Amino acid sequence: MLVHPMPDPIAVHIGPLAVHWYGLMYLLAFAQFIALGRLRIKQPHIAAVGWKKEDLDDMLFYGVLGVVLGGRLGEILFYNPAYYFAHPADMIAVWKGGMSFHGGFLGVMLAMYLWGRKRGRNLMDIMDFIAPMVPLGYAAGRLGNFINAELPGRPADPSLPWAMIWPNVDNIPRHPSPIYQMLVDGILLFIILWIFSRHSRPRMAVAGMFSLLYGCARFFTEYFRVPDYEVHFGGITISAGQMLSVPMIVLGIILLVLAYRLRQQAQAPAEPALAGKK
């Protein structure tokens, strides 16, 4: 039976400064954004619309603020409002973990809207550009959750080869849910989205595909994770993460339908002019 190694959440001490694994994972996420962004800018259909590597540094600054502020506010408001309002000092303790992807998603959208206003770019063009770079950053965050022994999975069949005991929870074999989410919501989604975005797509299509696929992947992997809380709709019970993923699925479908419908309308031949009046 596997046992979670429970590593020290502090990766290294530099004098009086303690560098946490969770912080290093966010640093890795931001570094891969720059690396993938430079690869994406080299794609002909991206270069053709004027994206440059200088845009990345500026966008990253706005994006970091959106991720950190939005992710933390999402964690506070969506998942644990009672705890954080009872312990306000912990609201800023991001090094302990506790970041909501859905909150970070909204924060990044707001940050990119502000950046787009400054640079004269359409919000959906920006979201189409950055969407393929997001999943690997998410995967790094889930690895940080696993290192911190956060987000334990639901009880698993002891015969499952990778079932794992989390000593900070109990002695019951559990699914390593952060690893599932890292692999499915992060790495698998990145591969699909990167391939999809390698060719020119109509405005909103890449962002819509990301929203749809992430929402579906997260809804699935949430089945293996101990829910923060559950919501009951008649005879149906879903977790908080699943509930928050439903709007992303709906948004993704809407964006994809609009993207291809608008392109179809733009490509439709104009009606021939009447030759004369009767």
CA distance to 103, 118, 123, 125, 235, per residue, from 113 (Å):
15, 9, 5, 10, 39
The partner residues of 222 in beta bridges, in order of sequence, read none
d(CA 175, CA 111): 35
Question: 114: which residues sit within 8 A by CB, 6+ positions away?
Answer: 62
User: pTM of the predicted model, to two decimals?
Assistant: 0.87
d(CA 203, CA 48): 14
Strands 2-3 and 164-165: parallel
| pLDDT per residue of the chain (278 residues) written in tens, 0 to 9 | 799 999 998 889 888 888 888 889 989 999 999 999 999 999 999 999 999 888 898 899 899 889 888 888 888 887 778 878 877 877 877 666 677 888 888 899 999 999 999 999 999 999 999 999 999 999 999 999 999 999 999 999 999 999 999 999 999 999 999 999 999 999 999 999 999 999 999 999 999 999 999 999 999 999 999 998 888 888 889 998 899 899 999 999 999 999 999 988 888 775 555 555 54
SS3 label, residue 9: coil
Question: 172: which residues sit within 8 A by CB, 6+ positions away?
Answer: 155, 165
Q: Could you state, in order of their start, the residue ranges of all structural domains in the chain? A: 16-265
Cα–Cα nearest to 214, from 104, 65, 75, 95: 104
Cα–Cα nearest to 247, from 206, 213, 223, 211: 211
What pLDDT sits at residue 191?
Answer: 98
Measured from the Cβ of residue 104, the count of other Cβ atoms closer than 10 Å reads 26
Gyration radius from the chain CA atoms: 21
What pLDDT sits at residue 99?
Answer: 77
CB 135, CB 186: distance < 8 Å = yes
Instruction: Answer yes or no: is 119 a known binding residue.
Output: no
What pLDDT sits at residue 105?
Answer: 87
